[in-house]
Amino acid sequence: AMVMMRYHAANRDPKQFENPNEFQVDRKNARTHLAFGKGIHMCVGNMLSRKEMTVSFQQFAKRLDNIRIQEGAKLNYPPNMMLRGLANLPILFDKK
């Protein structure tokens, strides 16, 4: 039978990650996540994506202060078989 991997569900498996719905960047087993897949079909763009995210967050931290999600913002996760992502993320910030 054909099997469809649900990576985003695996990343929220409470048997693997304690309090899986909490954003904790310092989890000891953070590197065992499956956001980029695993095995021979693991994402070939994973290193580029990690570098882009590192540079982006460094720039955010340099330029913006007090970053927060807009109060009452409706967060919309469009249905997607592969990835769970927001349609948009309204934020507020103070300029540094």
Binding residues (CB under 6 A) for ligand HEM: these are 5, 7, 35-37, 41, 43-45, 48-49, 83
Find out whether 43 and 36 touch, Cβ atoms under 8 Å. Answer: yes
In the complex, minimum distance from the CB of residue 38 to ligand HEM, in angstroms, rounded to a whole number = 7
In the complex, minimum distance from the CB of residue 52 to ligand HEM, in angstroms, rounded to a whole number = 7
- Give the span between the Cα atoms of 16 and 73, in whole angstroms: 30
CB of 20 or CB of 37, closer to ligand HEM: 37
- Give the span between the Cα atoms of 4 and 83, in whole angstroms: 12
> Which residues are registered as beta bridge partners of 69?
91
> In sequence order, which ranges of the chain are alpha helices (DSSP H)?
7-10, 46-63
* Contact partners, residue 5, CB within 8 Å, separation at least 6: 34, 37
CB of 81 or CB of 94, closer to ligand HEM: 81
In the complex, minimum distance from the CB of residue 30 to ligand HEM, in angstroms, rounded to a whole number = 15
Residue closest to ligand HEM, measured at CB: 45
CB of 66 or CB of 87, closer to ligand HEM: 87
